[in-house]
Each structure stands twice: as structure tokens, then as C-alpha cells.
Structure 1
């Protein structure tokens, strides 16, 4: 089971920054980089280059242009401060956990392994994205080590960092366990989520599908045109599939349709076999097991999703009632598509999502409480000289017309 409380609070800061990145102010300027130490704790030292390497990692991993973030100095500066503070907080977590009676987890524990895996997944995603061909084995390990070195870590040090992040999360959970939620807060959270989800989901059906699939937040609204489908594909051979996909993507529809018609004709015996079994009453799920399936659990789609292959989208729109089956041909092959479950559009009643909303409120309150206590501890450590912060050179100056 995924432990959501292990997720870094920095992710929250980063996501907020990315959502706001469209609101730019003034001209971008550049941080001054010299290789100097900008953060020193009892456990670690980080240079300005290593902090910017972390920024680059997150930007590359989440698909955000670094220059776009620099165009809004407030967002950039908040991100830099968030990264530096996050490093400082996790380094201070062990001592503070001890003060709170929380045991530090073993470096080889399941929780540490989970977070270490998450950290490596971010790095691997960027490595594979920028590699000319997929890396694996020793080549991938070497690339990971080189990337971690750019962040200021050896592999073992990065595992230690993961250990401290788990300790930090345990501390956050401990401090947040006595938090209470009022009915007014629950109602306010529900309304805020409803307004936001309605606004974005009605505009962008792809966003709606992805948001619901992730399951990271309570879903309090469903837009029109969502369906759960199951499908069986009788596939084209790889060579024909590749040729057909190229013709489709290049808009050469006459040649595409000719090639597709000829290719699907060769699949007709298997298509007719499946069709006959459906007509005789064989359950769709049974045929999925027999012929292979595109989604055993059902796939959430939107009728308005123009990123679907055109003929597949048309077939989805034809499905009017749960249980209906439509057929279509695409460059993937011949598809049997079943309308497997209805998604009722509109607002979800509060009583159906109250528990999920409460978890979201608790998480936000716990993060706020954690940040407040850690900032107080950080200020105390700075005054005592046990933590040194000097990252002003990475901050951008506000534009005069901002």
C-alpha cells in the first residue's frame, strides 16, 4: 500500500509553483553561480550548483521549462527557498525526532527503501528521457551515480538522505496526529475543491481523466462525457502497424484507409469468431481473458478527448448504454469496445467524499504545523551557528514593473 505521508512536502511547493507559472511578471534574470556553499548543516553541505541541479531535476522530471519559472521571480525565489529549507529540515529531523521520542528508521527498512526508490525514479525518468537509447544494468547504475554526484551525493549518501526524509515524514505525522477539523473547514474544503475541479474539468477533458485516474485527491465533480470502457484488440502485425501509424500522423488518410482496409481484412477470421461469441451471449470479460485485453479493470475515457485516435473516439461516442459494444478499426488493429460502467456527471455529495476531504485537510494542516516548527528550529540553529544559510545569490531580483 502506498504511504502518501511519505511524499515530500517539497512536491507540494513545486506543484503550486507550476500551477502558478502561467502568471509571469517582469523579465527573467539569472542567479549568480560560483560553486560556493549555500547551506551547511551538521550532516551535509550543498553548493549553489547542487541546488540548481535539484531545480533542473524537478523541472525536467515534471516537464516544466526552467526559464519559464524564472520569468516570475516570486515563484523562482519561493522554489529555491523551498529546496534549501527542505534540505535543512531533513538534516535536522533526526535530532528533533529523538527529542519527540520517535525512533529513526533503519537505512535498510521498507519505508526508506520506498522513498529511496521514489528518489531514484525521478532521476531515472530524466536519464531515460535524455538518453539516445534506453539504459539498463551497469549503464543505468553509472548514469544514476553521475547524476547523484551532480546533486552532491554518493549513492550511499542519497540513501541516507532518503532515511532522513522518512524521519522527517514520521515527525510530521507525529506532530499532526492531534489536529482537529471543524465542519466549517470541511464545508469550505468541499466547496473550494468543487469550484476548482468544475472549472478545470469542464474545460479540459484530458485533465479530468488524468486527475481522476491519479486518485491523489478527493474527486468531488465529474464532467459530462466520461465513461468506463473495456476493450479487446485484434492487433495488426508490427510492421503494418508502424506504416499505418505514420500515414495517420502525417494526415495521409486516403493511403491510410487503403492500407488499413487491406490489413484488417486479413484479421477477419478472428474478428468474426469474437463477434459470433458476443452475439451468442458470451460475457465480454470471458472473451477478454481468452483474446487478451487492453484494460482488465476498465479504462476511464472522455468522449471529448481529441487525443484518442479519431475512429476509436467515434466508437466511444456511439456507446449509449452500459453493456453496449461498438467496433472500429485503427492503426492498432480491430477493436471491440464495451461500455462497462457509467460515470454520473455533476457534483458528488459531500457525505460521499467527506473522509477523503478530511485526509486532505489533515495533510495540509500537518504540513503547515511541520513547516512552522521546523522554521523555528532552523532560525534557532542559525543563531547558534549550527546551520549556515547563504543562498541570496540564487534569488532573482524583482522587476521594477512587477
Structure 2
């Protein structure tokens, strides 16, 4: 009988027997009076659906249903009318997945929680492991001191200041752009589940000057840039770095795949590199045919270095894009103004080399599907690499030899040296 809903009044409450237990109010669903032997407490109980809750390890996870209970106060210090008003406000928070005792979700969750939940969402949506690792790596690298901070403490001024440090002081504008694009996406998706969270502190306007299209990173090499690039790679003070640039151009692989190339994936006798799917952007394994000039580059690298990586003496940090980490601005000590500085060879490293390789493929009339196979891109109707009879490895190796010969001709290299 004590749990049955009833119309509570101040007079009824005054005459309730001590220790009679729970008495529910019929005016506000979820509000009840817990009558003990020595005190009478106003409490409210509610349910939230599809919200975040603690996973027991310091983080949070999605839950289909969460029941919450909260003590509002003691009778008679809190009257019946005051308890009903407080219960309505508390139930509204509970429906959003926010415990009334922690009414600010921005104070409840930290930046680390934000990225952990975003990583779980990406995994649930089928995102590749490489993409997820890069996002977490960017955050760990550039926002390490932000991780324990509550979301409510992150302001627009902090975002702009950190962006300027990464983009201008450190000279990594692309890293800054990617970092806060990912941060903004994670915040806005998190806010859809927790409307109590404040708006994203990343301003909607551009945080950095628009990059000049002259010598853009996605523009293929042309004219004398071919010979200038090859000379730059040959005369590079770090011989391994110079060899990696040559291999990047001759293979057409993504720069990160060149940087992460390991000797255990290389089969020089079979003239191929067997990339595992875990390091590829599309998550599928990839076999790269090696032309004669590419084999020469790898053999030269082996003579210089016998570590686990082919071209680098240590692994790259997660999210660290070596091919974009060249300063493009510098501060003038006299005036304090930022002045754009040209990159060496106007950005002749990175995706320009991949696109240059693709441009040579088109110039030689190589079929689109075969180009996709050479560049580790999906081919319509093929579930995995080299499963179609039309694209056997010998044919791809022959095409790679033709492409290499044309690249060396454009670079003005005699005999592929």
C-alpha cells in the first residue's frame, strides 16, 4: 500500500507513520516521499534511453536504458510544492541522460571521454583501424594537456590559441586543420546525445589563411620540376630520405605507406611488396609490383640501413604526417608579422608524387582498373586484390616497368640511376 500513488498533502505527510516506507505522488510521476524512522526524504526516479554511462573503468559507454534516482531534500525543510517543482526539473535532466547531481554534462565528461566515445562510434560504424588510430594519434600528439580537462572548460579562445601554435609557431597548418576538424565532428555528434553540452568551441570561420594554389600539394609535377625533384632527392643530405622520395615517386604509393614500409613485407626475389590491410587506407591487403629501378632503390636502402623499417630509423608517431610537416610561415622578428615562406621545391613531396605517378599512367594509356590496382584503390566488381584473371601480377609488373621508364625519362635519368 505504501508504494501506491496517492494525493499527497502537507497534512497527510505530517501524519504518516514513521518507517512506513515509500509514498508516491500522483501529481508528478517519479516523485515519492521516503519515510524512515527518523527522517522523511523527497526523492525522484527517472529513466533515460540511448545515453552514456560509466563503464566502471573511468570511461563511459552507450547504454540502451539507464535508471536514475536522486534525493531532492528533506521534509519539512522542502515543502510539497517545492519538491514537485524540483522533481519536474530533475526528470527533464534525466530524460537527457544527465544525472541531476551533475547538471552540467560539460563538467561531467572530459576531452579524453569525448575522443574515447568518438572512437567507439567510429568502430561501431565500421571505420578503418588506420583512420581511428590517426584521429587518436592527432589528439594525443597535440592535445595531451587537454585530455583531463572537463569539456566545459574548453573555450573558443583556447581553440584559436592552440590552432595558431600548431599552424604558425610549429609550421603545421594541415595538421591543425585536421585536428580541429576531427575535434569539432566528435563534439557535435556527442552533443546530439547530450543536449546539455554547450556548443562546440571551434569557430565556424576559417582559422587560417587560404593556401595559395601555386605549387599545391595535389598538383602533378610538370616541366623541369621532374628533373629538379630527382636532383633534390639525389643530393638530399639524408640518403635514406632521398631514397624514400624516389621510391614514393616511382611506386605512386601514399606517403604514409612509404614511411611505414617494413623489410618483412618486401619480397625482392618476387619483385613485390606485400602490404597488410592494417596499414592501408581502405583496409584491404595490397601487393605492390616492383620495377627494376624500384628494386635498385630498396637495395641501396638495405646497404645504408638494416633496421625493421626501410626508409626511417624509427616509427612515425600516430597521426604524424611527415610529408606535410614543413613550415610555410615564419614570424618577422622586427615587426612580429607572419610572412609566408616558400616550401623547398614548392611542396614536391607528398601526394604530388602519387598524383604525378597517376598522371603518367594516364599519359601511357593504362586502363583505369589497372591504375586502381596499382594505386591500392577499389576496383568495381573485384572483392580483393588480384582475384580477376584480367589483372594478374605479371601484367601489373609489366605496366609498372613502363611507368618507371617514362618517369625516369621525364626526370632526365639515363639508365635509371
- Category of TM-score, reference length = shorter chain: under 0.3
Q: How does the TM-score come out when normalised to structure 1?
A: 0.25
Which structure has more relative contact order (CA 8 Å, sep 6+)? It is: 1
Q: How does the TM-score come out when normalised to structure 2?
A: 0.25
Larger helix proportion of the pair: 1
